[in-house]
Amino acid sequence: MRRAWVISTGTELALGQTVDTNTAWLAAQLAALGIRTLRHITVPDDADATRDVLLQAATACDVILLTGGLGPTDDDLTRQALADAAGVQLHLHPPSLDHLRAFFAARGREMPERNTVQALLPQAATALPNTCGTAPGICIALSGTPCYALPGVPFEMRAMFEREVAPALKRLADGAALLSRTLHTFGLGESDLGERIRDLMVRGRNPEVGTTAGFGLVGIRINAAAPSHADAEALLDQAESDLRRRLGSIIFGRDGDTLPGVVGALLAATGRTLSTAESCTGGLIGTLITDVAGSSRYNRGGAIAYANQAKVAILDVDPEEVEQCGAVSDVVARALALGAARKFGSDYAASTTGIAGPAGGTPEKPVGLVFIGLHTPTGTTAQKCLFGSDAPREAIRLRAARTALDLLRLELMHAVTHEVSGSGR
């Protein structure tokens, strides 16, 4: 498998004033072409630093992609850096100068003298035509390693890559494939999950397995490299079935699947309906559910009952239970879920009541304590969750909302299994 380095130049990128979107885009294109990116490097507008990185890259990979620094101003130093790295001089490339003049003429303007530098090319380099801007790109071999320098302006860079570079890289990749698949999990922390699949995560293994985590979700990313697309697919399939066998229902989907999407699909498949009664999540569960197109098929509605009064008035929670157990309690979580199911006339209902912080925690009921109520056709339950008293408010709320959705998912999966085996309704 061919390997690439992707280099971006620009002081604004190095200082974090502009987000570098070019390298991410290019690395994704390379992967799609079957080329593995080994490094992303950002250098400020400094010809010597750029030359040094280019020299390093030339000995370490099979193809170099670089963006930025091809403009007409004094901070545009890529041409010089390329010439220095190749140990050659810059010379004027007349066809590029003609293109520049024509570019300005088409806009009714005289070309500023300053732009002539954009027609300079290192000796032995090839100009890559720019169909939507002034600066031509440059293709040059550095110690035998092809290097493509593209404009920094994202749309010019993309157009030039697709027209001038991708076909050559496709030939270079020679049919190799680098495919990736992500399995989404919920319910197990990243370290516990990592323990269970440790042997698959060993570095240097193909397919390569890695995890990414955020707010209760853990993604398992599988990258497979192979001489052909079919071989890479087979490696992914093998890894996926291995992971599914080990992790079972912790895995809720793959690639574009989302937790609310999967819950929605299960509701739609079983013809069941859902409603919500939210306190500390303030409508977040309802938002996640209604983010899914077509959710009107199963979503009956939801109530945001923040104050105790609202819990009593809207969802028929018993004021004495609130008084005795406190609003943040399993009793009230169950009452909220049951109240929502009755008021909205749904088969299932999810509720939350908790302390999202940062204030309001006590030793008995710390910040991060959330009770999640669940009403199903077979009963009403509540689960106590501790999301951590130092967790930020938005993390507690999002984890609570996702936990409620995941509890629903597991209930629905159970119901589907029963219906399929004939022991359901």
Interface positions with ligand AMP (CB under 6 A): 8, 10, 13, 18, 20-23, 67-71, 76, 151-154
Beta bridge partners of 354: 370
Cα(49)–Cα(152) distance, integer angstroms: 17
Cα(412)–Cα(378) distance, integer angstroms: 11
Please say whether the beta carbons of 66 and 42 come within 8 A: no
Residues 49-108 that bind Mg ion (CB under 5 A): 68
- Our CA angle for 168, 169, 172, nearest 5°, is 95
Instruction: For ligand AMP, give the closer residue by CB, 13 or 250.
Output: 13
Residue 31 Cβ vs ligand AMP, minimum distance, rounded to whole Å: 18
153 binds, among ligand AMP, Mg ion, none (CB under 5 to 8 A by kind): ligand AMP
Q: Distances in Å between the alpha carbon of 70 and those of 8, 119, 134, 136, 198?
A: 12, 10, 9, 8, 46
Structural tokens at position 112: 């500023």
Instruction: For Mg ion, give the closer residue by CB, 74 or 113.
Output: 74
Q: Does 133 bind Mg ion (CB under 5 A)?
A: no
Instruction: For Mg ion, give the closer residue by CB, 43 or 178.
Output: 43
Burial of 90 (0-12, 13-18, 19+ CB in 10 A): middle
Instruction: For ligand AMP, give the closer residue by CB, 18 or 56.
Output: 18
Residue 165 Cβ vs Mg ion, minimum distance, rounded to whole Å: 19
Residue 150 Cβ vs ligand AMP, minimum distance, rounded to whole Å: 9
Q: Is 316 helix (H, G, I), strand (E, B) or coil?
A: coil
Instruction: For ligand AMP, give the closer residue by CB, 18 or 381.
Output: 18
Residue 25 Cβ vs Mg ion, minimum distance, rounded to whole Å: 17
Structural tokens at position 107: 């806009």
Cα(161)–Cα(176) distance, integer angstroms: 19
Count how many residues are written for the chain: 425
Instruction: For ligand AMP, give the closer residue by CB, 13 or 251.
Output: 13
62 binds, among Mg ion, ligand AMP, none (CB under 5 to 8 A by kind): none
Residue 381 Cβ vs ligand AMP, minimum distance, rounded to whole Å: 50
Binding segment toward Mg ion, per CB under 5 A, in 6-14, 231-239, 307-315, 391-399: 6-14
Name the closest residue to ligand AMP (Cβ): 152
Determine which residue in the list 6, 8, 10, 139 makes contact with Mg ion, applying CB under 5 A: 10
Q: Does 373 bind Mg ion (CB under 5 A)?
A: no
Structural tokens at position 168: 């050559």
Residue 354 Cβ vs Mg ion, minimum distance, rounded to whole Å: 49
Instruction: For ligand AMP, give the closer residue by CB, 27 or 153.
Output: 153
β pairing state of 126-128 and 348-354: unpaired
Q: Which residues of 302-319 are buried (b: 16+ CB within 10 A; e: fewer)?
A: bbbbeebeebbebbebee
